[in-house]
Amino acid sequence: MSRSGMDVKSMKPLYIRIADDIMKSIKDGELKPGDMLPSESKLCAEYSTSKMTVRNGLSLLTRAGYLSSIPGKGNFVEQPRYDLLTMHFDEMEIIEDYPQGVKLLEVTIVTPDPLVQGRLGLTERDKAILLKRLLYTEEQLAAYDIKYMPYIKGKPLIEKEIQYIPFTKMVAKHGELFSVKNEVTILAAAADQEVASMLATPPGSPLLVIEQKLLSAEQKPIGWGKTYCLADCMQLHAVSAQYFQDKKLLNL
Protein backbone atom coordinates (compact mmCIF):
# COMPACT_ATOMS: atom_id res chain seq x y z
CA MET A 1 0.00 0.00 0.00
CA SER A 2 1.42 3.35 -1.06
CA ARG A 3 2.02 6.17 1.42
CA SER A 4 1.49 8.80 -1.25
CA GLY A 5 -1.50 9.97 -3.22
CA MET A 6 -4.55 7.84 -2.39
CA ASP A 7 -4.83 5.03 0.14
CA VAL A 8 -5.40 2.08 -2.23
CA LYS A 9 -7.29 0.04 0.36
CA SER A 10 -9.83 2.65 1.45
CA MET A 11 -9.47 5.14 -1.39
CA LYS A 12 -9.33 7.97 1.16
CA PRO A 13 -7.29 11.09 0.42
CA LEU A 14 -3.91 10.95 2.13
CA TYR A 15 -4.59 13.87 4.48
CA ILE A 16 -7.56 11.95 5.93
CA ARG A 17 -5.40 8.84 6.35
CA ILE A 18 -2.81 10.93 8.21
CA ALA A 19 -5.55 12.20 10.53
CA ASP A 20 -6.92 8.68 11.03
CA ASP A 21 -3.46 7.30 11.89
CA ILE A 22 -2.77 10.03 14.45
CA MET A 23 -6.24 9.69 15.97
CA LYS A 24 -5.71 5.93 16.33
CA SER A 25 -2.39 6.56 18.10
CA ILE A 26 -4.18 8.88 20.52
CA LYS A 27 -6.99 6.39 21.18
CA ASP A 28 -4.52 3.52 21.64
CA GLY A 29 -2.58 5.54 24.21
CA GLU A 30 0.58 5.80 22.12
CA LEU A 31 0.11 9.57 22.18
CA LYS A 32 -1.12 11.06 25.45
CA PRO A 33 -2.53 14.49 26.37
CA GLY A 34 0.33 16.99 26.33
CA ASP A 35 2.53 14.97 24.00
CA MET A 36 4.01 16.80 21.05
CA LEU A 37 3.49 15.31 17.60
CA PRO A 38 6.40 14.70 15.23
CA SER A 39 7.26 17.83 13.27
CA GLU A 40 5.56 18.54 9.97
CA SER A 41 8.84 17.77 8.20
CA LYS A 42 9.02 14.31 9.80
CA LEU A 43 5.39 13.60 8.89
CA CYS A 44 6.09 14.71 5.32
CA ALA A 45 8.99 12.27 5.12
CA GLU A 46 6.99 9.45 6.73
CA TYR A 47 4.10 9.79 4.30
CA SER A 48 6.14 10.98 1.29
CA THR A 49 3.92 13.99 0.83
CA SER A 50 3.84 17.78 0.98
CA LYS A 51 3.47 20.06 4.01
CA MET A 52 0.08 21.18 2.67
CA THR A 53 -1.26 17.61 2.83
CA VAL A 54 0.11 17.13 6.36
CA ARG A 55 -1.35 20.45 7.49
CA ASN A 56 -4.76 19.52 6.10
CA GLY A 57 -4.70 16.33 8.14
CA LEU A 58 -3.60 18.14 11.31
CA SER A 59 -6.29 20.75 10.74
CA LEU A 60 -8.97 18.05 10.80
CA LEU A 61 -7.72 16.86 14.19
CA THR A 62 -7.53 20.40 15.55
CA ARG A 63 -11.13 21.10 14.54
CA ALA A 64 -12.21 17.80 16.09
CA GLY A 65 -10.57 18.76 19.40
CA TYR A 66 -7.69 16.27 19.35
CA LEU A 67 -4.86 18.74 18.83
CA SER A 68 -3.83 22.26 19.64
CA SER A 69 -1.20 24.18 17.75
CA ILE A 70 1.33 26.49 19.43
CA PRO A 71 3.09 28.75 16.92
CA GLY A 72 6.83 28.20 16.92
CA LYS A 73 6.57 25.06 19.05
CA GLY A 74 4.41 22.47 17.33
CA ASN A 75 1.20 20.45 17.61
CA PHE A 76 0.18 18.93 20.93
CA VAL A 77 -2.40 16.32 21.96
CA GLU A 78 -5.36 17.87 23.77
CA GLN A 79 -7.08 16.56 26.88
CA PRO A 80 -10.50 15.12 25.84
CA ARG A 81 -13.53 17.21 26.89
CA TYR A 82 -16.07 14.68 28.08
CA ASP A 83 -18.12 17.44 29.70
CA LEU A 84 -19.14 18.75 26.27
CA LEU A 85 -22.32 17.07 25.03
CA THR A 86 -24.10 17.06 21.69
CA MET A 87 -27.89 16.85 21.67
CA HIS A 88 -30.16 16.37 18.68
CA PHE A 89 -33.46 18.25 18.91
CA ASP A 90 -36.17 18.41 16.30
CA GLU A 91 -39.66 19.29 17.52
CA MET A 92 -41.14 17.08 14.79
CA GLU A 93 -39.66 14.04 16.55
CA ILE A 94 -42.27 14.55 19.27
CA ILE A 95 -44.91 13.24 16.88
CA GLU A 96 -42.66 10.32 15.87
CA ASP A 97 -44.22 8.52 12.86
CA TYR A 98 -47.74 9.84 13.43
CA PRO A 99 -48.65 11.63 10.16
CA GLN A 100 -51.60 13.49 11.71
CA GLY A 101 -49.45 14.70 14.60
CA VAL A 102 -49.40 18.41 13.79
CA LYS A 103 -52.30 20.84 14.03
CA LEU A 104 -51.50 24.27 12.62
CA LEU A 105 -53.35 26.81 14.75
CA GLU A 106 -52.14 30.12 13.37
CA VAL A 107 -49.75 31.74 10.94
CA THR A 108 -50.00 35.49 11.02
CA ILE A 109 -48.02 38.72 10.72
CA VAL A 110 -47.93 40.56 14.03
CA THR A 111 -46.41 43.57 15.74
CA PRO A 112 -44.13 41.79 18.23
CA ASP A 113 -44.14 42.65 21.91
CA PRO A 114 -40.95 43.98 23.56
CA LEU A 115 -39.80 40.48 24.55
CA VAL A 116 -39.94 39.19 20.98
CA GLN A 117 -38.43 42.42 19.65
CA GLY A 118 -35.47 41.90 21.95
CA ARG A 119 -35.02 38.24 21.04
CA LEU A 120 -35.12 38.99 17.29
CA GLY A 121 -33.37 42.36 17.34
CA LEU A 122 -36.42 44.13 15.88
CA THR A 123 -37.57 47.73 16.20
CA GLU A 124 -41.07 48.90 17.09
CA ARG A 125 -41.80 49.37 13.37
CA ASP A 126 -40.76 45.85 12.38
CA LYS A 127 -43.20 42.99 11.92
CA ALA A 128 -42.80 39.33 12.78
CA ILE A 129 -44.40 36.09 11.62
CA LEU A 130 -46.10 34.22 14.44
CA LEU A 131 -46.57 30.45 14.15
CA LYS A 132 -48.57 28.33 16.57
CA ARG A 133 -48.88 24.53 16.38
CA LEU A 134 -50.13 21.68 18.52
CA LEU A 135 -48.07 18.47 18.40
CA TYR A 136 -49.61 15.07 19.05
CA THR A 137 -48.29 11.58 19.59
CA GLU A 138 -50.50 8.73 18.43
CA GLU A 139 -51.84 8.49 21.98
CA GLN A 140 -52.27 12.10 23.11
CA LEU A 141 -51.69 15.84 22.79
CA ALA A 142 -48.02 16.35 23.66
CA ALA A 143 -46.80 19.91 23.05
CA TYR A 144 -47.72 23.51 22.24
CA ASP A 145 -45.29 25.16 19.83
CA ILE A 146 -44.95 28.97 19.45
CA LYS A 147 -42.36 30.41 17.08
CA TYR A 148 -41.47 33.84 15.66
CA MET A 149 -39.51 34.92 12.59
CA PRO A 150 -38.74 38.40 11.27
CA TYR A 151 -41.22 39.29 8.55
CA ILE A 152 -39.53 39.57 5.16
CA LYS A 153 -41.67 41.45 2.66
CA GLY A 154 -42.27 39.45 -0.49
CA LYS A 155 -41.50 36.07 1.14
CA PRO A 156 -44.83 34.62 2.24
CA LEU A 157 -44.99 31.35 4.13
CA ILE A 158 -47.07 28.57 2.61
CA GLU A 159 -49.13 26.95 5.36
CA LYS A 160 -49.05 23.54 3.70
CA GLU A 161 -45.25 23.68 3.55
CA ILE A 162 -44.60 24.71 7.15
CA GLN A 163 -47.05 22.53 9.01
CA TYR A 164 -44.78 19.50 9.27
CA ILE A 165 -41.23 20.88 8.98
CA PRO A 166 -38.84 21.66 11.85
CA PHE A 167 -38.32 25.28 12.85
CA THR A 168 -34.68 25.35 11.71
CA LYS A 169 -35.58 24.23 8.19
CA MET A 170 -38.51 26.60 8.09
CA VAL A 171 -36.38 29.61 9.01
CA ALA A 172 -33.56 28.63 6.64
CA LYS A 173 -36.02 28.23 3.76
CA HIS A 174 -37.83 31.49 4.53
CA GLY A 175 -34.58 33.46 4.66
CA GLU A 176 -32.90 31.50 1.84
CA LEU A 177 -30.04 30.66 4.21
CA PHE A 178 -27.59 27.77 4.04
CA SER A 179 -26.10 28.08 7.53
CA VAL A 180 -28.27 28.41 10.65
CA LYS A 181 -26.95 28.32 14.22
CA ASN A 182 -29.40 26.74 16.65
CA GLU A 183 -29.16 27.71 20.34
CA VAL A 184 -31.34 25.61 22.67
CA THR A 185 -32.22 26.30 26.31
CA ILE A 186 -34.05 23.62 28.31
CA LEU A 187 -35.94 24.40 31.49
CA ALA A 188 -38.68 23.07 33.71
CA ALA A 189 -41.71 25.30 34.19
CA ALA A 190 -45.29 25.29 35.41
CA ALA A 191 -48.03 25.80 32.84
CA ASP A 192 -49.57 29.27 32.86
CA GLN A 193 -53.22 29.83 32.00
CA GLU A 194 -52.71 30.14 28.21
CA VAL A 195 -50.44 27.13 27.85
CA ALA A 196 -52.55 25.03 30.22
CA SER A 197 -55.63 25.83 28.14
CA MET A 198 -53.92 24.84 24.89
CA LEU A 199 -52.56 21.59 26.35
CA ALA A 200 -55.82 20.72 28.16
CA THR A 201 -53.97 20.40 31.45
CA PRO A 202 -54.50 22.15 34.81
CA PRO A 203 -52.60 25.42 35.38
CA GLY A 204 -49.40 24.73 37.25
CA SER A 205 -48.84 21.36 35.58
CA PRO A 206 -45.14 20.49 35.11
CA LEU A 207 -43.75 21.16 31.64
CA LEU A 208 -40.47 20.73 29.82
CA VAL A 209 -39.88 23.97 27.93
CA ILE A 210 -37.45 24.04 25.00
CA GLU A 211 -36.49 27.54 23.92
CA GLN A 212 -34.84 27.94 20.51
CA LYS A 213 -32.95 30.92 19.14
CA LEU A 214 -31.73 30.72 15.56
CA LEU A 215 -28.92 32.88 14.21
CA SER A 216 -27.51 33.46 10.75
CA ALA A 217 -23.83 33.01 9.93
CA GLU A 218 -23.45 36.73 10.72
CA GLN A 219 -24.93 36.09 14.21
CA LYS A 220 -28.12 37.94 13.34
CA PRO A 221 -31.26 36.61 15.11
CA ILE A 222 -33.56 35.00 12.55
CA GLY A 223 -35.93 32.96 14.69
CA TRP A 224 -37.05 32.49 18.29
CA GLY A 225 -39.69 30.57 20.15
CA LYS A 226 -40.64 27.95 22.69
CA THR A 227 -42.04 24.43 22.66
CA TYR A 228 -44.05 23.59 25.78
CA CYS A 229 -44.03 19.81 26.29
CA LEU A 230 -46.07 17.81 28.75
CA ALA A 231 -43.61 16.26 31.16
CA ASP A 232 -44.45 12.66 30.26
CA CYS A 233 -44.28 13.20 26.47
CA MET A 234 -40.73 14.40 25.90
CA GLN A 235 -37.30 12.90 26.50
CA LEU A 236 -34.00 14.45 25.49
CA HIS A 237 -30.78 12.51 24.96
CA ALA A 238 -27.23 13.85 24.72
CA VAL A 239 -23.95 12.14 23.84
CA SER A 240 -20.34 13.20 24.35
CA ALA A 241 -19.47 15.68 21.62
CA GLN A 242 -16.19 13.83 21.05
CA TYR A 243 -18.18 10.82 19.83
CA PHE A 244 -19.80 12.82 17.04
CA GLN A 245 -16.50 14.48 16.18
CA ASP A 246 -14.93 11.04 15.84
CA LYS A 247 -17.72 9.83 13.56
CA LYS A 248 -17.51 12.93 11.41
CA LEU A 249 -13.75 12.63 11.08
CA LEU A 250 -13.81 8.93 10.28
CA ASN A 251 -16.64 9.24 7.76
CA LEU A 252 -15.08 12.02 5.70
pLDDT in tens, 200-220: 999 999 999 999 999 887 889
The Cβ-side half-sphere exposure at 114, using a 13 Å CA radius, reads 0
How confident is the model over 215-233, as pLDDT tens digits? Answer: 887 889 999 999 999 988 8
Identify whether residues 200 and 148 lie together within a single domain.
Answer: yes
Q: Please indicate, yes or no, whether residues 26 and 125 belong to a single structural domain of this protein.
A: no
21 and 132 within one domain: no
How many separate domains does the chain show?
2
Residues 229 and 137 in one domain: yes
Tell me, letter by letter, the H, E, C secondary structure of 164-190.
CCCHHHHHHHHHCCCCCEEEEEEEEEE
Distance CA 149, CA 193 (A): 24
Residue 160 sits in a domain whose CATH number is 3.40.1410.10
Is residue 188 in some structural domain? yes
Q: Residues 72, 165: one domain?
A: no
Q: Report whether 190 contacts 204 (CB < 8 A).
A: yes
Question: Which structural domain range is residue 113 located in?
Answer: 89-236
Do 114 and 163 belong to one domain? yes
pTM as predicted: 0.67
